[in-house]
Structure 1
């Protein structure tokens, strides 16, 4: 297995499952940190700020700082700022997406007369928020969704994800959004920019084929599937484009690297 110059890492199913740390994950991050190998946690979660994501990881024993995190919120805000600096935005979502938009100098408005509508996971979503979003899209606002995840794993089971909430606006208006998060290249381009390395020097590590592995494939980045989450080894190897590598867990990668 090739040793890479930089590592892009999924969280749920790769680093942890709910509140439990996955075997080998903490050790692998410590290995990267100790060997001065840059890494970024790439998450579709737009509701949390990078410091909040890093704080959760730190409390679980990972070496993690805010600058180790790229969220779909950050990628969304960067995309809009590049396309239309200072744009007005109506946003449905939590503190993560609001902070990211503000950091990029975008103006958040609470009415339907805006340049963009952005939706991220919002546990307090209601009819009025969806109504304003639909009116804005019908008025010509560009429709952006932070990620297409239709469900999210929780301790209670799988709950509606941002993709499910996004579909309400799509069904009502007939307008398909631009998705930013995994498996789309937009969030990966943001990660590549942040880590400052060529794509050929990077590997995307994750458990779920349709988001994590496909995000690497769609971006011409090598992929490492870990058999610690949703997608099984048999499933990923049966895909038309399998991952570059698949391992039982990340301890296996350390063993391979240290055996070289």
Structure 2
């Protein structure tokens, strides 16, 4: 089956932390040469699409338009606009999340926000967590940008946004609404952006829990590449098998 478009993860799939994955670069270049539509769908909220675009170019020699990048930050904004609970927000996160939310018209409020949004924050501290806890207890809607427990880096698997969100879930006894992979919101919005239907695209990623389950949960075929989070030894015990599993993106046949 020839897929008309590809939804592609970044970290662990196209690169690994600060390390390039040569097959990832070749994969993107092949998509460009064949003029196959693709969209990077990433749970990384620390960087804006413009920063991701620049990083791909500067660090990995991969050159794409910023419109090719759809982050969990953008999906979170789309979700809050659809939800329309209000426009006051408190955010635990980095510039790629906070700046985009404020630019989209939301107003910072630490005491009585309508939403508490939590993403990855490498500078998180007890006071930030306290402000978020108190706001959620007062009734703010608790949004988790993504449930990633870990991030694959050159150092190994480090804590992800899901680890911080779990702490707040324990402190507030409140379950968050998750937006990023593998949830419906980010996948539906990604399909809108690429302009294709579920049966026309392939979801490509290294993390079974997020990338592959985002496809499985939403009726999209999946390609698990064993270059990042999910190890080869885990494949046989996965609850639902990916549509395809490969060791390296060089193995993928675009004409199948």
Query: Does the pair score TM above 0.5?
Result: yes
Find the counterpart in structure 1 of residue 154 from structure 2.
155
Counterpart CA distance in 2 for 1:171 and 1:117 is: 15
Shift of 1:180: 1.1
Structure 2 counterparts to residues 83-232 of structure 1, below 5 A: 83-84=83-84, 87-109=87-109, 111-232=110-231
Q: 1:240 to 1:4 in 2, by over 3 A?
A: same
Does structure 2 retain, via aligned residues, the 8 Å contact 1:94–1:122?
A: yes
Find the counterpart in structure 1 of residue 22 from structure 2.
23
Shift of 1:237: 4.1
Superposition RMSD in Å: 1.7
Output the TM-score relative to the length of structure 1: 0.92
Counterpart CA distance in 1 for 2:14 and 2:159 is: 22
Counterpart CA distance in 2 for 1:249 and 1:157 is: 19
Q: Deviations over 1:213-243 (max 9, x none)?
A: 1111111111011122232445334323211
Output the TM-score relative to the length of structure 2: 0.93
Does structure 2 retain, via aligned residues, the 8 Å contact 1:223–1:243?
A: yes
Q: 1:158 to 1:233 in 2, by over 3 A?
A: closer
Counterpart CA distance in 2 for 1:237 and 1:5 is: 29
Q: Deviations over 1:95-152 (max 9, x none)?
A: 111132134322222x221111001111111122111111111111100011111222
Find the counterpart in structure 2 of residue 72 from structure 1.
72
Counterpart CA distance in 2 for 1:192 and 1:55 is: 24
Q: Deviations over 1:61-112 (max 9, x none)?
A: 1132211111111101110011117521111111111132134322222x22
Q: 1:225 to 1:155 in 2, by over 3 A?
A: closer
Counterpart CA distance in 1 for 2:233 and 2:129 is: 40
Counterpart CA distance in 2 for 1:217 and 1:209 is: 10
Counterpart CA distance in 2 for 1:138 and 1:248 is: 45
Where 2:133 maps in the other structure, the secondary structure is helix
Q: 1:87 to 1:246 in 2, by over 3 A?
A: same
Where 2:62 maps in the other structure, the secondary structure is coil
Find the counterpart in structure 1 of residue 62 from structure 2.
62
Where 2:234 maps in the other structure, the secondary structure is helix
Counterpart CA distance in 2 for 1:155 and 1:246 is: 23
Where 1:257 maps in the other structure, the secondary structure is coil
Does structure 1 retain, via aligned residues, the 8 Å contact 2:86–2:114?
A: no
Which consecutive unaligned segments of at least 5 residues does structure 1 have?
A: none
Counterpart CA distance in 2 for 1:228 and 1:238 is: 18
Q: Deviations over 1:24-76 (max 9, x none)?
A: 21111111111211111111111110111111111211132211111111101
Which consecutive unaligned segments of at least 5 residues does structure 2 have?
A: none
